[in-house]
Structure 1
Amino acid sequence: MLFSFFLVSIPIVLAQQHNAEPTVDGSCDDGWQSFPNVTDATAYPNWIIDEELGAYMPVYQTTGLNASEVTRAVIILHGKERTCWTDWNAANNALYNATYDDSTIERDEISILSPCFFDEDDLEAGAAQDGQLLWGKRTWMSGHRNVAPDSISDFSSFDVLDALVDYYMNTTLYPNLKVVVVAGHSAGGQMSQRYAALRISTENDDQLHFWIANPASLLWLTSDRPVPNDDCKGFDRYKYGLASKYPAYATANARVLGREGIIERYNGRTLNYAWGLKDNGDGDTRCQAMTQGSTHLKRGKNFVSMLEDMGGIPNLTTIDWVPKVRHDTEKMMASDAGVDKLFRYMGNSTDA
């Protein structure tokens, strides 16, 4: 009797990984009650920001990487809700998207870090701890000073970003690092943009990128506005403009450079803007923001028009209009444009 055997090849389809968002009790208004563990991340409650001052704060960082193999670092800035665990997880899921679709992007070469700018409500509720750097409920996004602990004063949230950038730029720790991306959506996008404008130049700036996604308002470069309002006082003061009222972090440097010097430095950086084409929420309803436009998207379009009127889109600037996306952190990060700018784009780096 003759038996015939047919070897059937069954294709194996690998599922794309997507980690669930951690659940945390509490709220933005009343304070978060815990600093949760996040899949694929190490939660550091006391990450050293300034060893001499004894300044530390909580951060999440990708776990299990060999620092000598890391070529790219992405510093994720959370939104106004201060849910740093959510934004870190969104970026990590976007990286899963990236590696699933593009074999040239290697997870083992990308470190994601998200600092947590907690406030005193978070301390009382349980997410923050005594001794950690704390900020006002919204002041962290503009580079203003910490409010606690009492032993440390006049420490800007932009000082924190300087320290995190310097950490990754340390060639002893990360000898093969090529790019650091300071990235944020919504309030995180506001922070990224204003930090890009006020950060003092260093020799490594050609390796530094800024991803600015769906900010509720922008640091406007010119003194005029697309929607003028004569009754709106302070529309050109920081954080909405460049006329005055800078945080202490930038006061001396801004006095030396002036508006034109700040603009020249800012537009000389690698700036990657992104707006969702369905982001029609108003976000910031203060009159200073409304002079920029009535919605996130309109403010973005008006800002781009301003850049064009100033002489054209700067050479190192990119503009991404993301279709079918509203005010959604994870969808913006996981979009083709988000994946490209966060995990692939080399821009003006030295090895581009």
Structure 2
Amino acid sequence: MMLLSMLALLMVTPPAETEHFATGTGFVIVWRSHALAGATHAGVERAFIMVHGAGRNAEDYFRWALASATVAGQLSKTVVIAPHFKSRSAGDPVEFGELEWSGSGWVSGEHAVSGKATSYDVIDQVLEVLNSQEHFPDLKEVVVAGHSAGGQLVQRYAAVNRMEPRMHVPVRYVAANPSSYLYLNDLRMQLGAACGTDGRCTGKFVKYWDAANCTTYNRYRYGLEARTGYAAASSNEYILEQYPRRNVTYIVGALDTRTDDSTLDRSCRAIAEGANRKERGLIYYSYIKTQFNATHTLEIAPGCGHSAVCVFAGPAGVKAVFGGTD
């Protein structure tokens, strides 16, 4: 399967097209396989929105998503969309009128440096376009997916967004290898305990053992306290009611266990969630299932470390996004 995935990636020659997607008082550039403005796309049954990681390499993520659709045999029925959240402070060239974010503010739904839109508003407006039965008359579902920092965006967006209830088709969320998660209360796994892929753990969720030395561990974007940006407008009650019921899949790379990765969040707030990405993912999956009776699912990406192409062009990603292959 992995060999087929890699071959598909090499063989995909998609239209390298971008679109200036207007939102709020500016625009973002999106890579897309089908025009989002003014066109009708009969036969498109699934939308696959792929959010890039901290490297903000949206074009690469667009092509990896196309590879995933090719492996699944669903490319002709899928519109692939990859928004580009730029940051001038991180070295991105920014056009006049283009929205940009300060540092990693786009990950947690903060407002753009200039303009009223947040990064989560951008996802909302992409969903709004897809919700048009005139332009996408055969659409059956929308999948919002992301890897690493993009996985963080997807997980938090799934928890706080207010757009899903307005959609006429189901929305699913796939969060792969995020460095941290949004917790819904102040509980964390006991020190020294671990969780398995079956959701069973060697310890319990308790008041955080090091809270006195990490007083911000439960603030947004790690917890619900002191929420900012888009998330500030969603009440605790709404989040606690909606998120456990939403269709969320977590993907954890079987080899994503490094603690010396420069992109791994090593703040005390993230350490409260586990030592590495794999551990954090397994713990969070158990947490959301046992504490909130969530119907969420977990996929393990075999042979994958912290690699978006390995995850999404491999069996775990294809299954999570497309339900597997025939």
Q: TM-score, normalised by structure 2?
A: 0.83
1:115 paired to 2:86: no
Q: 1:198 to 1:204 in 2, by over 3 A?
A: same
What do residues 111-153 of structure 1 show as CA deviations (whole Å, max 9, x unaligned)?
110000011247x764x311101111200010000003xxx2x
User: How far has the Cα of 1:88 moved from its partner?
Assistant: 0.9
Secondary structure class of the residue paired with 2:288 = helix
Q: 1:276 to 1:111 in 2, by over 3 A?
A: same
> What amino acid is the match of 1:117?
F
Question: Percent identity among equivalent residues?
Answer: 28
1:303 to 284, 294, 299: 284
Secondary structure class of the residue paired with 2:286 = helix
Distance in 2 of aligned mates of 1:261 and 1:133: 28
Query: Which residue of 2 is the match for residue 175 of structure 1?
Result: 137
Which is worse superposed, 136-145 or 203-212?
Answer: 203-212
User: How far has the Cα of 1:342 moved from its partner?
Assistant: 1.4
Distance in 2 of aligned mates of 1:205 and 1:266: 18
Query: Which residue of 1 is the match for residue 60 of structure 2?
Result: 86
> What amino acid is the match of 2:18?
Y
- Structure 1 or 2, whichever has the larger Rg, is 1
User: How far has the Cα of 1:45 moved from its partner?
Assistant: 4.9
Q: 1:63 to 1:161 in 2, by over 3 A?
A: closer
Q: How many residues get paired? A: 292
Distance in 2 of aligned mates of 1:72 and 1:290: 37
User: How far has the Cα of 1:63 moved from its partner?
Assistant: 4.7
Query: Which residue of 1 is the match for residue 198 of structure 2?
Result: none
1:332 paired to 2:311: yes
Distance in 2 of aligned mates of 1:39 and 1:72: 20
User: How far has the Cα of 1:46 moved from its partner?
Assistant: 1.9
1:197 paired to 2:148: no
User: How far has the Cα of 1:19 moved from its partner?
Assistant: 3.4
Does the 8 Å CA contact 1:42/1:63 hold for their aligned counterparts? no
User: How far has the Cα of 1:96 moved from its partner?
Assistant: 2.0
Does the 8 Å CA contact 2:121/2:230 hold for their aligned counterparts? yes
2:117 to 152, 155, 169: 155
Secondary structure class of the residue paired with 1:264 = helix
Q: 1:205 to 1:281 in 2, by over 3 A?
A: farther
Matches within 5 A, 1:119-158: 119-121=87-89, 126=93, 128-148=94-114, 152=115, 154-158=116-120
Q: 1:66 to 1:170 in 2, by over 3 A?
A: closer
Q: 1:267 to 1:111 in 2, by over 3 A?
A: same
1:19 paired to 2:10: yes
1:341 paired to 2:320: yes
Distance in 2 of aligned mates of 1:341 and 1:125: 31
Q: TM-score, normalised by structure 1?
A: 0.77
Q: 1:121 to 1:261 in 2, by over 3 A?
A: closer
Does the 8 Å CA contact 1:225/1:292 hold for their aligned counterparts? yes
Secondary structure class of the residue paired with 1:159 = helix
Distance in 1 of aligned mates of 2:92 and 2:230: 29
Distance in 1 of aligned mates of 2:83 and 2:63: 13
2:219 to 228, 234, 237: 237
Q: 1:276 to 1:83 in 2, by over 3 A?
A: same
> What amino acid is the match of 1:88?
F
Secondary structure class of the residue paired with 1:167 = helix
Report which structure shows greater RCO (CA 8 Å, sep ≥6). 2
Q: 1:89 to 1:189 in 2, by over 3 A?
A: same
> What amino acid is the match of 1:57?
V
Does the 8 Å CA contact 1:59/1:115 hold for their aligned counterparts? yes
User: How far has the Cα of 1:268 moved from its partner?
Assistant: 1.1
Does the 8 Å CA contact 1:40/1:63 hold for their aligned counterparts? no
What do residues 179-203 of structure 1 show as CA deviations (whole Å, max 9, x unaligned)?
1111001000000000011101523
Which is worse superposed, 201-210 or 278-287?
Answer: 201-210
The CA RMSD over aligned residues, in Å, is 2.3
Which stretches in structure 2 are left out of the alignment for 5+ residues?
A: 1-5, 192-208
User: How far has the Cα of 1:94 moved from its partner?
Assistant: 1.8
User: How far has the Cα of 1:205 moved from its partner?
Assistant: 7.0
2:49 to 52, 63, 75: 75
What do residues 145-169 of structure 1 show as CA deviations (whole Å, max 9, x unaligned)?
0003xxx2x3111000100111111
Off by >6 Å, runs of 4+ in structure 1: none
> What amino acid is the match of 2:33?
T
Distance in 2 of aligned mates of 1:222 and 1:41: 45
Distance in 2 of aligned mates of 1:253 and 1:66: 33
Q: 1:178 to 1:281 in 2, by over 3 A?
A: same
Distance in 1 of aligned mates of 2:81 and 2:13: 13
Distance in 1 of aligned mates of 2:65 and 2:133: 24
> What amino acid is the match of 1:300?
G
Q: 1:159 to 1:125 in 2, by over 3 A?
A: closer
